[in-house]
Chains A and B, each alone.
Chain A
Amino acid sequence: MDKAKKSGDNGERVMMKTLPHSKDLQWPMLWWIGMEKLYRTLPWKKTAWTCAAFPIEIMWIYDIFPDHPENMATVAAARKQSLRMIEHAEGLGFSRDLCSYCKTNIGAYDTKIKKTIGGISKPDLVLCTNAICDTHWKWFQIMADKMDVPFFMLDIPKWVSGTDEKTLEGNIDYVAAQLNDLMVFIEKHTGKKMDENRMQKVLAKSMELTALWREIYEHRKAVPSPYSGAETSASFFPLVVLPGVQIGVNFFKKILADIKVLTAKGEGTMPQGKEKYRVMWEGIPFWYRMRFMYDLAQYGAVIAFEPYTFSFAPLKKKCATMQDTLRDVAKIIMDLPYAYNLERRIEHFEKWIDEYKLDGVILHENMSCRPSSAGMVDIKEAIMRDKGVPVLILQGDMNDPRTYSEEQMKTRVEAFIELMEANKK
């Protein structure tokens, strides 16, 4: 999709508007980078690597800087460094079929590239969970062993299709017990103690952050779409590493205000009258090829909703006791939209198709994320049967550009656009 095929009537490239405060994402990012420097300078401060679905708040509660190999892998891809990192890891023997985030991280760590292009340094602890995939714990354990750093893993039971409430309660008990173990582990390796006042403050900020993001998503239901996946894919960054601190809250408030102004005027991210198709994108984006989402605009298509970015803002509640808090966190970890079982995925996707008035769905069959890619044929068939909207399964990879074929993507997308057009008639 290097050239627009169905651009504006006069053949000009359709330019998507970004929100006035989108550029303010730099402040949370700079704050986070600055904090890492501070935490690495002061000897009593600690840092840890962690992964998606891990309760980041616990790290801020214990005053541990959360570094995030996946996040840094996306930076490396966006800065066109991921292929070099992946090839480095493959040179060490890691198979081409393994997760490209993992291999990017291995390459970035070994080659010591700069933070600004995806680099990452040795932490004091490695904390992870298998909530989303086993890759997380295999990868993190390999790196913890390599760096000789203490390792902790939260084992999250699987919420398979048809799981009953009683089983869920047993699963929550198991995870809550491990959260207690996690606190013991952190206290042992950092010498820090749980401060319940600090915990309440961090959790309150985290709730505020996720509530703002969820409100933003309520406004994304507006037609035309005020805020596309092209923007949310970057701006959800505070949800990844900053739940519990103020700076992300400030940024989301500005974004929400911008969106409210736009929707009040009946305007969207696409130029007036250009939004033809509202699309849901399921899966992780092509980080090395974010232009893909802007290219869709040339066909009048906007990514109006993505379960992936929504996943990072689970509904959180204030709990009266520590044990209730741990049980709430345990349930949240098991209940992320990105990790929904097949029945729940179909149920929620169909709900979102209605709520976001979607004309089509793109499912990224991500060769680096088999758990996410399983069941896509069933999802496609169910949505087409129940909702009558076209579904495109696009095979690719989130961080490995070798899987991306420009012409094949273009052909598939154009056929999908034609199906959406025919479906509107």
Chain B
Amino acid sequence: MKKLAYFDTAHEMPLEIVMAAGFTPYKILGDVHQSNDPADKYLSSFFCPAARSWLTEALAHSKEWAGIVFAQGCNNTNRHYDIWKLHVETPFLHWFGAPMLDGDAAKKYYRVELQRLISALEKKFAVKITPEKIKEAIGKSNALKKKLQSLSALRSQKDIPNSDYLAAIIKYLTEPADEVYAWLDSEIARWNSKPAFPSGKKRFLLTGSDVTYTGWMDTLDECGIRVVRDDLSVGERLFATLIPDRNDPLDALMEYYMGIPTPATRPTIQKRLDYLRKALRETKVDGVFSQNLKFCEPYAYDSVPVNNALKADGYQVIHLERDFSPAVDQQLTTRLMAFAEMMDGGK
């Protein structure tokens, strides 16, 4: 099954439409090990390094994909689209204008945009995306979400390296649903057989910019930080809720995508905070790690009010800005270790 790639700064892309069109949705995540030089010809170094890496990936691999869909997300998604339109070779480039609001006007507009995506796919690839096919895709999607929920819950019970969790999420975002489904069964069994949560690790909730490479998660482990909850778009946001059962599958998708835990790219900050507080009530943690990828503006704005609110709630919060780099930043590591030690001292 051919991959249809998508550019998505959060969880805005209606994956079920892509699945119903007969493609494997493939989230472009870039490669931290590749130089961004190809993208840097078109974007200055003060643009999000992850988005520059996505462009680098597309410049090298776009011919392997059936096409590319951009889902409106952060500040510059539309600007990236314009640049990709000029420089990335692809037979199909589509803009999906996910609205940022969730009122009646936005709901109506969301349906218009869903229908426009369906029509564009049908026209380009000579397929028929029927309600039945969308319902079938929703069924698969929900089954995967349930498995990811089970997997995620094991993080606070078993000795699961941070990078194992991220690897599972990345597999979910880039490989065929049926293969991932079977793999998740074996992975849940493997995780269940692991020893109990290690006593030397601190339980953390991870929030802020997305992590798209496992190396950074290993670094956190090395600092004694075990991520047991998160509100990332390459993380819990993907499976925190299920797609509801509705007669019209487009209504179901609209309700789902407009109701998922709010990323920093959507209003309101309070909604995002509400989800974090809910997660923190559900799972006991030692601290909150707020991370900001360099030049990731939405989370940088949120970090001040969100972190202040969590601190006021009594949580220990550390906020760090990190680069998009495979190299271990020793300064960050030192700060994280010091924070973990400070938490011990406080007990």
- The residues of A with any CB-CB pair to B shorter than 8 Å are 92-95, 97-99, 102, 130, 133-135, 137-139, 141-142, 145-146, 153, 155, 157-158, 160-163, 167, 170-171, 173-174, 177-178, 180-181, 341-343, 365, 367, 370-371, 373-378, 395
Contact = CB atoms under 8 A, between A and B. Distances in A.
Interface in B165-192: none
A155 B297 contact: no
A170 B269 CA distance: 28
B43 interface: yes
A160 B76 contact: no
Given A133-B75, A377-B43, 14 more contacts: A93-B307, A93-B319, A94-B300, A137-B267, A142-B301, A142-B305, A160-B70, A173-B109, A174-B108, A178-B105, A181-B105, A342-B79, A343-B85, A367-B46
Interface in B73-106: 74-83, 85-86, 95, 97, 99-101, 103-106
B108 A98 contact: no
A114 B316 CA distance: 38
16 contacts: A93-B303, A95-B292, A97-B294, A98-B297, A145-B305, A160-B82, A160-B95, A161-B86, A167-B97, A171-B109, A178-B103, A180-B105, A341-B82, A370-B76, A374-B43, A376-B44
A97 B41 CA distance: 21
Given A173-B109, A174-B108, A378-B86, A134 B42 contact: no
Contacts, number: 151
B75 A134 contact: yes
Interface in B46-82: 46-47, 70, 72, 74-82
Contacts of B308: 93
Interface of B: 41-44, 46-47, 70, 72, 74-83, 85-86, 95, 97, 99-101, 103-106, 108-109, 112-113, 116, 264-265, 267-270, 292, 294-295, 297-298, 300-305, 307-308, 319, 321
Q: Which 5 A-B pairs have the closest CB atoms?
A: A374-B79, A342-B82, A177-B105, A158-B78, A174-B109
Contacts of A177: 104-105, 108-109
Given A138-B302, A142-B301, A343-B82, A97 B75 contact: no
- Main secondary structure on chain A at its contact with chain B? helix
B301 A139 contact: yes
Contacts of A342: 79, 82-83, 85-86
B99 A157 contact: yes
Nearest to B106: A155
Contacts of B264: 138
Contacts of A130: 100
A174 B82 contact: no
Task: Name the residue in B74, B79, B303, B307 with the highest tally of chain A Cβ atoms < 10 Å from its Cβ.
Answer: B79
Contact of A370 (B97, B99, B294, B297): B297
A153 B304 contact: no
